[in-house]
Structure 1
Amino acid sequence: MATSLLSQPSSPPIAPAAAGPIYRSTKTYGHSEGLSCCFRQWRATHSHCNLLHGYALSFAFVFGTRELDECNWCFDFGDLKEVKAWLHHMFDHTTLVAADDPHLPVFESLQRTGLAELRVLPAVGCEAVARHAFDHVSDYVAKKTAARVWLESVEVREHSGNSAIYCNPAGA
């Protein structure tokens, strides 16, 4: 999958300017989007979360700007096609495993035999997935808007009862 603007982040998150009103807009990819993936949180030895389990994830992105574009928009949602494709690549019928999972070779074997579509992340869990999405989409938004817009936060929902939010460390 080509990820021209969704490559590894090349710069720190964009910090908003110091003064003036902030306009915000949100884009949500809900549970019906089909981002059904399997997690293994190997460090959760006290919990059943260390076993393979799955969710139909939902993502909510909050964008901020101090200056609207020529259409009076914070961010043109039509520019999120690459983000949607990246979300599907990462989380649609995939298995998320941490890079330091002691059973990583087993999961890699499942991928080699065609039994799993593996995604290895630095860490696994709703919070870690929110940060991973933030890191990729923040850089994309900055490039797409010449830093006029910043990503404020990403919320990842496992279901209606559980979510995690990662916020821009540069603040608003």
Structure 2
Amino acid sequence: MTPSAHLMMSWLCGASTVVTKRERIIITLAGLAPDLDGAGLLIDWFTGTTRYYQQWHHVFGHNLVFAVAIATCAGLLARTRQARVWLMSFVAIHLHLFTDLIGSKGPDGYQWPIEYLYPFSNTGLTWQGQWALNAWQNQLIWLALLLACISYIKRKNISFFELFGNKLDEAARSLCIRLSARYFR
């Protein structure tokens, strides 16, 4: 699944269950956190000799121990409703893992296994029906997530752009409301 889909999906986990902007951002970042294990891509790019991305992506951040640790950090960072933030962070992380499992096949046909029980087991989980990262299924999911996020702007006047600052968030909400008033009366 694409990073933008993970972002919208994680933000929706927070937006559907918590009230404060801080808690929504914490849950969203928790849902994005599994891809921290993709940082090896930068090291590989700079060195030109390592293959950390191929070796470690879907390993360090895509497992149960990481999910519990990140959800625990998220819960501790919340000022109120710590148990709810922990739970929704855990859910957001697992939605990330699930969508990577079903829709992250590479262009060469390689299925990214998810080593869910790492470091206790190196057995990677895959699904035979896994579709490519750019497949129509992922595009349809992305569109559905976008429409759900737009509906939050219309109903609750909040958007996932709050992660990027107040000015961008306000501009996105204003644009969405103007466009929907013009085209969807």
Is the shorter-chain TM-score for this pair beyond 0.5, marking a shared fold?
no
The structure richer in strand per residue is 1
The structure richer in helix per residue is 2
TM-score for the superposition, normalised by structure 1: 0.31
